Amino acid sequence: MEKQSGKMENMVSKASLTDFYKHKKIFVTGHTGFKGTWLLLLLHELGAKVKGYALAPEFEYSLFNITEAKNLSESIIADIKDKERLQAEIEAYQPDYIFHLAAQSLVRRSYKIPAETFEVNVTGTANLLECISLLRKKCTTVVITTDKVYENKEQHILYKEEDILGGYDPYSASKACTELVVSSFRKSFFNVGKFNEHQKSLASARAGNVIGGGDWSTDRIIPDIIRSLQSRQNIIVRNPTSVRPWQHVLEPLTGYLLLGGLVNEDAGKYSTAFNFGPLPGDHLTVKALVEKAIDKWGSGSWTDASGSYQPHEASLLQLDITKAQTELGWRPKLDAASSIDWTINWYKQPDSKKKDCTLRQINTYLAL
Total number of residues shown for the chain? 368
> Beta 7-8 vs 3-4: how paired, if at all?
antiparallel
> Beta 284-285 vs 243-244: how paired, if at all?
antiparallel
DSSP 22: T
Domain range 3-209+248-279+319-335, CATH class: alpha beta
Crossing angle of the two packed helices 351-367 and 14-21, in degrees rounded to 10:
100
What is the 3 state secondary structure string of 302-326? EEECCCCCCCCCCCECEECCHHHHH
Q: pLDDT for 99-132, tens place per residue?
A: 999 999 999 999 999 999 999 999 999 999 999 9
Is a pLDDT exceeding 70 seen at residue 310? no
Is a pLDDT exceeding 50 seen at residue 338? yes
CA distances to 184, 193, 234, 311, 361 from 333, in Å: 34, 35, 32, 34, 13
Q: What is the residue-wise DSSP string for 238-296?
A: S-TT-EE--EETHHHHHHHHHHHHHHHH-HHHH-SEEE----GGG-EEHHHHHHHHHHH
Euclidean distance between CA atoms 60 and 76, whole angstroms: 17
pTM of the predicted structure, to 2 decimals? 0.94
Report whether 92 contacts 242 (CB < 8 A): no
CA distances to 247, 258, 273 from 276, in Å: 9, 11, 10
The domain locations on the chain are 3-209+248-279+319-335
Q: pLDDT for 62-104, tens place per residue?
A: 999 999 999 999 999 999 999 999 999 999 999 999 999 999 9
Report whether 287 contacts 239 (CB < 8 A): no
Q: pLDDT for 137-196, tens place per residue?
A: 999 999 999 999 999 887 778 999 999 999 899 999 999 999 999 999 999 999 999 999
DSSP 150: B
Q: Which pLDDT score, from 0 to 100, does residue 227 have?
A: 95
DSSP 119: I
195-214 burial: b if 16+ Cβ within 10 Å, else e: beebebbbbbbbbbbbbbbb
Euclidean distance between CA atoms 42 and 61, whole angstroms: 20
Average pLDDT over residues 210-231: 94
CA distances to 236, 246, 286 from 221, in Å: 9, 11, 8
